[in-house]
Amino acid sequence: MKLYSANGNKVFNVVEQENTAPEDFIKLKISLLHPTLADLSVFEGKLDIGYPRVPCRLATAVVSEDRPEYGLKLGSRVLLNPYVNPNGYDDEGYTDVEVYGIHKDGFLRDFVSMPIDNVIPFPEEVKEDEAIFADIVAVALRIINEIKPEKGDYIALIGGSLLMNITAQLALYYQAIPIVITADKRFLRLAEEVGVYYTVDESVEDVNKKVFSITGGRMADHTVQHALENVTPKFTYSLASRGADCIIAALNSVCIPRQEVDIGMVASKNLTVKGVSGGIDEFNSAINVLAQKILSFDGFIDKTMPLSEAKELFDELSRDYFRYQCAVIRV
């Protein structure tokens, strides 16, 4: 196996390693990877973890051997569940959520062996370029389940990202009304292409006035902010109606930026503020959503690199993480 191990100094050591996994683990060839902000933080040495560490938690793979006891055949396409303990529980109750690529070596490699609980065969109708987003779908589902939107509810989605786009699509499915707010015109376009009627370019529009106009003065019943450095946090509360739900969302809690906001509106508007990070509880539901084909991922991937050029891609992302909508690595 060839794996890309980060020391936290923006360098990968390419290591050849024998497979020493238990015999009941499934041997897999990695197929597609999507580096996230957490993976970049591992590469840059920003996280307080044990180095060296192999990053990347979002991956698809191909089964490398027949495993009839698990119903897996050589060549079967599978999705890797990125949670170290995918069942979420142990003898002492709910565990801290650990993920591959941060708490244990991840999937930036050519081959890996995984326990059966982390190996999920693709539904036949799901493409590899869709399955790679399963965990982002899981986080979006958790957001929707936290706010429990009713038909006609306005949901302000603050920040241009794949997570906000998928959440907007789920909001439409539940007959809510998403309002996508970002200065990134790429994500405004993607939102419009999946049927989002209300988009607000915060670089040229007065966001509060626009949302006031869209909602007929009631403001948003729910607000969701993707916790990223390029997202304006004040909108989470200023766009909320009295008694609204406000969600601070992230794919993973290890690299949420520090943000200063006036929390006076939380008290004066009687807002409920919740945090959402990780999709462990919704991962299986996300697979079902993918199979139902209610989401579109067209246009998401705008950069593809081979595994041999992983260092070049991480260098690019280190200079500007928002350079691409979605960069992937094909192995």
For residue range 254-266, list pLDDT tens digits in order: 877 777 777 888 9
Can you give the pLDDT at residue 89? 53
What is the longest distance spanned by two Cα atoms in the chain?
Answer: 63
Instruction: Give rounded-to-5 percent helix, strand, coil for the chain.
Output: 30, 30, 40
For residue range 203-220, list pLDDT tens digits in order: 999 999 999 999 999 999
The reply to whether 233 and 186 lie within a common domain is yes
Can you give the pLDDT at residue 316? 97
Nearest to 326 by CA among 295, 294, 303: 303
CATH of the domain at 44: 3.90.180.10
CATH of the domain at 209: 3.40.50.720
Domain that holds residue 60: 2-133+297-330
The per-residue DSSP string of 312-327 comes to: HHHHHHHH-GGG-S-E
Can you give the pLDDT at residue 18? 85
The answer to whether residue 143 is domain-embedded is yes
The reply to whether 250 and 141 lie within a common domain is yes
For residue range 308-331, list pLDDT tens digits in order: 999 999 999 999 999 999 999 999
The reply to whether 243 and 318 lie within a common domain is no
Evaluate whether 301 touches 324 at the Cβ level (below 8 Å).
no
Q: Is the pLDDT of residue 115 over 50?
A: yes
The answer to whether residue 261 is domain-embedded is yes
The answer to whether residue 283 is domain-embedded is no
d(CA 118, CA 283): 11
Domain total of the chain: 2
The reply to whether 123 and 193 lie within a common domain is no
The reply to whether 113 and 208 lie within a common domain is no
The reply to whether 45 and 175 lie within a common domain is no
The per-residue DSSP string of 92-149 comes to: TEEPP--BBTTTB--S-BSEEEE-GGGEEEPPTT--HHHHTTHHHHHHHHHHHHHH-P
The answer to whether residue 172 is domain-embedded is yes
Q: Taking residues 134-140, report their average pLDDT.
A: 97
Q: Taking residues 89-105, report their average pLDDT.
A: 73
The answer to whether residue 233 is domain-embedded is yes
Percent of the chain with pLDDT over 70: 97
The answer to whether residue 284 is domain-embedded is no
The answer to whether residue 66 is domain-embedded is yes
Q: Burial level of 110, CB count in 10 A (0-12/13-18/19+)?
A: middle
Can you give the pLDDT at residue 210? 98
Q: Is the pLDDT of residue 93 over 50?
A: no
For residue range 62-88, list pLDDT tens digits in order: 999 999 999 999 999 999 999 998 776
The reply to whether 162 and 224 lie within a common domain is yes
Can you give the pLDDT at residue 79? 96
In whole numbers, what is the pLDDT of the chain averaged over residues? 93
Can you give the pLDDT at residue 233? 84
How far does CA 101 lie from the centroid of its chain? Answer: 14
The reply to whether 241 and 191 lie within a common domain is yes
Residues 6 or more apart whose CB falls under 8 angstroms from that of 92 comprise none
The reply to whether 103 and 26 lie within a common domain is yes
Can you give the pLDDT at residue 90? 52
The reply to whether 50 and 6 lie within a common domain is yes
The reply to whether 151 and 192 lie within a common domain is yes
The reply to whether 193 and 220 lie within a common domain is yes
**Helix or strand run (H / E) with residue 87:** none
The answer to whether residue 231 is domain-embedded is yes
pLDDT band at 94 (very low <50, low <70, confident <90, very high): very low
